[in-house]
Amino acid sequence: MSPPGRPLRADAKRNREHLVAVAREAFATADTAVPLESIAREAGVGIGTLYRHFPTRDALFEAVYAAELDDLTTSAPALLGELPPDAALRAWLGRYAQFVAMKRGMVDALRTGLAAGRLTPPARERVTAAVATFLEAGARAGSLRGDVEPGDVTAMLLGVLLTTAPDSTSEQTARLLDLVMDALRPGQDPASTDSGRCTGGQSAVSEITETEPPPGSRTS
């Protein structure tokens, strides 16, 4: 590996990016136990090259997680350029649901990365910032309520996704996300509770990778 803070050579940077791209595809279509040798072979590099960039499987998990989180949390402007704000938010929620489902098998490795400070800024803060972008656009357009705290939406969303059984259907997830959207549309009465209750819920649903997965969702 290059010394910390030292830029990678162009060819090394390409190798690293290609390895992450191949790993993303492998973890999406197979599982997190796919042999690292298979990933190296598919990327057209030797296993030694893979280990120079990612000394452990957990390091590769973290790189895949970071790349996918970047894609997800920076996609709001593009979606808002294609769809009305409420439809854009619903499409983004669907992508986020997919992201969470794919991370169930990585949760232990990612929790370790967070504890070591290698995954920053915190996932929930980045997700909340993306949610805020949609809510602000929707409030201006009149298609989403303007009295909703982005952090409360994140807490509600994580609560839905991280307590859904791993064998639940995508149809059930879609129905639950539609209920979230129903609560965000104008005409819905604000909750008759004080703001402290939402804050408590938000603290109970911690970082996406720090939250315990549903029973039976751990991989060996």
Task: Using 70 as the pLDDT threshold, list the residues of the chain that sit under it.
Answer: 1-8, 30-32, 104-121, 162, 165-169, 188-220
Query: What stretch(es) of the chain map to CATH 1.10.357.10?
Result: 58-204
Q: What is the CATH number of domain 58-204?
A: 1.10.357.10
Task: State residue 178's pLDDT score.
Answer: 95
Task: State residue 152's pLDDT score.
Answer: 94
Query: What stretch(es) of the chain map to CATH 1.10.10.60?
Result: 10-55
Q: What is the dihedral of CA 188, 191, 195, 199, to 10 degrees?
A: -90
> Taking the complete model, does pTM exceed 0.75, yes or no?
no
Closest CA to 68 of 126, 1, 2, 5: 126
How many H helices and E strands in the chain?
A: 11, 0
Architecture label for domain 10-55: Orthogonal Bundle (1.10)
Rounded CA-CA distance 23/90 in Å is 28
Task: State residue 66's pLDDT score.
Answer: 86
